[in-house]
Every structure is written in C-alpha cells, then in structure tokens.
Amino acid sequence: MDLVALTEEIVKSLVMNKESVSVKEFPTDDESEILIQVMIDSEDMGRVIGKNGRCANAIRTLVQASSYLKDNKRVKINIDSF
C-alpha cells in the first residue's frame, strides 16, 4: 500500500468528517525523506492528535514502519487544520 493511501486510511478512521481529509505528498530536498501533509477539519484535530500527541505519534510510527519495509525512507507527517 502507498504511504499516502495508508496515512489517509488511518486518519479517515479517526475523524468524524471524512470528506474533509486531504493527504498529499510533497517533494523534499533530501531524496531519502518523504513529507506527507495531512489537512483535516479543525473540529477533528483533537481526535487525530490525541492526548499528549499519542495518536499522531502512532500514525507516524505505523507509516514509518511501512516505509522501512518498502523504500527505507524517513517519513515526516505534518498535521494541520483548515
């Protein structure tokens, strides 16, 4: 599974407003790094980040583990609201 699709699937399972989820990959200067931008509704921000950032860290861990199995690239995930 693609890292962007995996991230989108995980985030959509957490939020209430699934239509507002937008996940995109952006190029970085470092070829061994992937930047994934997650945009969600501001009302769902607490669900995705979780208490003390535990959900966000869990999402990053799952996507990073998937990346190590496939591409062996470092993954950065930014979570923002609109």
Q: Where are the domains of the chain?
A: 3-81
48: pLDDT strictly greater than 90: yes
Q: What is the pLDDT of residues 7-46, one digit of tens each?
A: 999 999 999 999 999 999 998 999 899 999 999 999 999 9
Task: Copy the structure tokens of residue 43.
Answer: 């009302």
Task: Categorize the per-residue pLDDT at 70 as very low, low, confident or very high, splitting at 50, 70 and 90.
Answer: confident
Mean pLDDT of the chain: 93
Residue recorded with tokens 């995705």: 48
User: How, if at all, do strands 33-40 and 74-81 pair?
Assistant: parallel
The closest of 19, 9, 7 to 44, measured between CA atoms, is 19
- Give the pLDDT score at 82: 82
Instruction: Kindly state the percentage of the chain with pLDDT values over 90.
Output: 84
Alpha helices in 1-82 (DSSP H): 3-14, 45-49, 54-70
1: pLDDT strictly greater than 80: no
Q: If 0-12 CB within 10 Å is exposed, 13-18 middle and 19+ buried, where does residue 32 land?
A: exposed
The closest of 33, 28, 58, 70 to 79, measured between CA atoms, is 58
pTM: 0.90
Question: What is the CATH T-level fold of the domain 3-81, as seen in this structure?
Answer: GMP Synthetase; Chain A, domain 3 (3.30.300)
H or E, element range at 13: helix 3-14
